[in-house]
Amino acid sequence: VTVMKVEEAPQETYADIGGLDNQIQEIK
């Protein structure tokens, strides 16, 4: 569910989570 939320959520959500910052870089 987290992955789906990340893909659906905007970058603002990433900053909110902060912990997914690393995962985001890997996806990019």
> What are the structural domain ranges in the chain?
1-28
Predicted pLDDT of residue 18: 66
pTM recorded for the entire structure: 0.17
Beta-carbon contacts of 15 under 8 Å, excluding residues fewer than 6 positions away, are 21
Q: Please report, for residues 16, 24, 25, the alpha-carbon distance to residue 11 in angstroms, rounded to integers and kept in the order given.
A: 9, 9, 11
Q: Please report, for residues 9, 16, 18, 20, the alpha-carbon distance to residue 5 in angstroms, rounded to integers and kept in the order given.
A: 6, 13, 14, 11
Predicted pLDDT of residue 28: 58
Tens-digit pLDDT string for the chain (28 aa): 556 565 665 666 655 666 666 666 665 5
One DSSP character per residue, 1-28 reads -HHHHHHHS-HHHHHHH-TTHHHHHHH-
